[in-house]
Amino acid sequence: MTEYSHTLLVRGRYQIVALTDEAQFDPAEVTGYAVLSSAGAKLRHEVSLEDARDWADRLIEEESAQRSGSPAAVKPAKRRR
């Protein structure tokens, strides 16, 4: 089965997309959400848009902290469901 991605948000170098089984976007047919790199690689799959947005925001914060030399930079924690 083919999975289609539909860009909803762009956060820094990352895209947050809705995933569907159809090429035509229908909000009622969304099967999940993903965070993609600028190259289009799927970095994370989430059930809700809020979770995908939160994960991307944490990733951006981590990168920002690393660039500023902060020792407190840590990878976004995986949440168990």
The number of folded domains in the chain is 1
24 lies in some domain? yes
73 lies in some domain? no
81 lies in some domain? no
What DSSP assignment string belongs to the chain? ---EEEEEEEETTEEEEEEESSSS--GGG--EEEEE-TT--EEEEESSHHHHHHHHHHHHHHHHHHHTT-TT--PPPPPP-
pLDDT per residue as tens, the chain (81 positions): 799 999 999 998 999 999 999 999 999 999 999 999 999 999 999 999 999 999 999 999 999 888 887 555 455 666 666
pLDDT value, residue 75: 59
pTM, rounded to two decimals = 0.79
42 lies in some domain? yes
Q: Which domain holds residue 37?
A: 4-67
pLDDT value, residue 45: 97
